[in-house]
Amino acid sequence: MDKFYLTTAIDYVNGAPHIGHAYEKIITDVIARHFKQRCDDVYFLTGTDEHGIKIQKTAASAGITPKELCDENAQKFKDAWKALDIDYTRFIRTTDEDHVKIVQRIFQKLVKNGDIYKNSYEGLYCSGCECFLNPKDLTEDGLCPDHLKKPEIVKEENYFFKLTKYKDAIIKHIKENPDFIIPQFRANEVLNQLEDIQDISVSRAKSNVQWGIDVLDDDEQSIYVWIDALSNYITALGYDVDTPSDKFKKYWPADVQVIGKDILKFHSIYWLAILMALDLPLPKHILAHGWITIDQAKMSKSIGNVISPTSVLESFELEYPDAFRYYMATAAPCGKDGNYSDEDFKEKVNAHLANSMGNLLNRTLSMLVKYFDGEIKEEFFAVKNNELVGGSISLLKTALNKVDLVKNNFDNFAIAEAGLEIVNLVDITNKYVTDNAPWTLAKEGKMIECGQVLTTVLEIMCIISALIYPFCPNIAESMAKQLSFDLSKKLDDLTYENIKTGVLISKENIKPVFLRVDSELADKSKSK
């Protein structure tokens, strides 16, 4: 694997980030960190969508310019992703100068090639969706099904993109590439949508929408959301219609584009058609994730259940975001909806991260110090010259098999499923400790056997630290430090021999890698 390029949807800056935005960025970051363990060159793009009528109206009501509103809210997204350890390569804004110039040139090229034409149009426009709707798409009450608002009748002369020209090619691509849309069951939804697609408006009259990218050679039109927003995935790499950059040539096509299921139509139909019109390769995969509900209810400003991702860190006084990252990344099976609740968050992260994984490492290291002064001896190893010996063969083989299972899950972008495989390995290792009872072996004077059990567990903990790293980078680094394990090691280079002989750790250096969120130690307000 020479490179891995992945993108998220760019978030609309009409408001602040919420837990749904965070879910997408977290699972994408987990994917990026995993593939960094398998590939030396990973490019991770995220950013913000900053043009359109909603921005224009919100800024006007606040008495500021649209750019001032965009600057303020784009920073909120950046601050949130920093708090969540989202390690992106570039944060693109559609107001970035390089993006604006390339979008204008893309638009010009599509006009020149005959893929964009000008036409008068009257239709039902939803400002929430920023698109025209067909009457059949509305509810029985004539409302937009997503925003539950009545669309306005808009009559304009706009530029249109010949979406229908690429209908058959898109259908063919989806049918011939069953793993293009993930999860696969969503492909049928897209194929159904393709049955009655029409050409789409790709500009708005400046008399109605002033806040946008100017159409060159036409002072009365602004480039509309689809070519502006969707093109960010290639403009960020330096695509240009005449001389694409070396970076673009290196990274495009995207290996996976991560989006919400509500914008799948735009990415699997509109975006593909634009790329076909530009004669560019198509992305390898589009991952359409589900929504996150709050206590089983859809997030809504009117209900008042919209949660800021950083508020979770603050309310549980989490020093690092690992627990929240793990919970969100494992909140839903691939492509399905997930749910957040405070109680479930506490129960899940305490059970998986504190009670199972953290306690397993802590008690194993404590026994190593108690019985052997923290020293790993040569005779404790279950591996000799990379050959398995002794009674630990099954567990060590299981651990490396889990590495392959986790990699396979990530290859299919089944992030939650990968997390559960790691937790399962922790559970299997805990059972191994219980079954082999090193405390009993020590009491009976069977010190070599006791040391072999502890060393085997610590070998497994090295593997677990590598596997859990994409989900919980800070916890993984704490684990690796106590194990003297190099986390920069690629997954393919993991072996049965991760622990070195000699003194591994002293009593004072054994620290819990994750405190229970309801423990007295974890609750700073109680410990003051």
Report the greatest alpha carbon distance in the chain.
90
Token pair listed for 287: 């991952």
SS3 431: helix
Say which of 36, 78, 99, 129 is annotated catalytic.
Answer: 129
> What is the pairing mode between strands 292-294 and 338-340?
parallel
CB 265 within 8 A of CB 190: yes
**Known catalytic residue: 397?**
no
301 labelled catalytic = yes
Pick the closest to residue 87 from 49, 41, 43 (CA basis): 43
Q: Which amino acid, one-letter code, is at 299?
A: M
Which helix (H) or strand (E) segment holds residue 225: the answer is helix 225-230
Single out the residue of 100, 53, 99 nearest to residue 211, CA to CA: 53
Backbone angles phi, psi at 205, to 5 degrees: -65, 135
Is-contact 177 220, C-beta < 8 A? no
Q: Is-contact 26 328, C-beta < 8 A?
A: yes
CA distance 6 to 284: 10
Residues shown for the chain = 528
CA pair distance 406, 422, nearest whole angstrom: 8
Please confirm, yes or no, whether 149 is among the known catalytic residues.
Answer: no
Query: Which is catalytic among the residues 82, 147, 431, 500?
Result: 147
Give the count of beta carbons closer than 10 Å to the beta carbon of residue 404.
12
Closest CA to 200 of 94, 73, 115, 105: 115
Which of these is catalytic: 70, 131, 144, 450?
Answer: 144
Residue among 126, 334, 450, 462 flagged as catalytic: 126
Catalytic residue flag (residue 34)? no
51 is catalytic: no
In our burial notation (b when 16+ CB lie closer than 10 A, e otherwise), range 185-211 reads ebbeebbeebeebebbbbbbebeebeb
**Rounded to the nearest 5 degrees, what angle is found at the Cα of 93, between the Cα atoms of 89 and 97?**
105
444's tokens: 């009976």
Instruction: Give the integer Cα–Cα distance in Å for 262 and 130.
Output: 13
Q: Answer whether 6's CB lies under 8 Å from 415's CB.
A: no
Residue in 67, 172, 298, 524 annotated catalytic:
298
Whether the Cβ atoms of residue 73 and residue 48 lie closer than 8 Å to each other: yes
Reply yes or no: is the peptide bond before residue 281 cis, omega within 30 of 0. Answer: no
CA distance 435 to 424: 16
Q: List Cβ neighbours of 228 (8 Å cut-off, separation of 6 or more).
A: 49, 51, 94, 103, 212, 213
Phi/psi-derived region of residue 279, left when phi > 0, alpha when psi is between -120 and 50, beta in every other case: left
* Catalytic residue status for 70: no
Q: Is 131 a catalytic residue?
A: no
39 assigned to active site: no
Instruction: Judge whether 164 and 198 are in contact, CB under 8 Å.
Output: yes
* Catalytic residue ranges: 18, 21, 126, 129, 144, 147, 298, 301
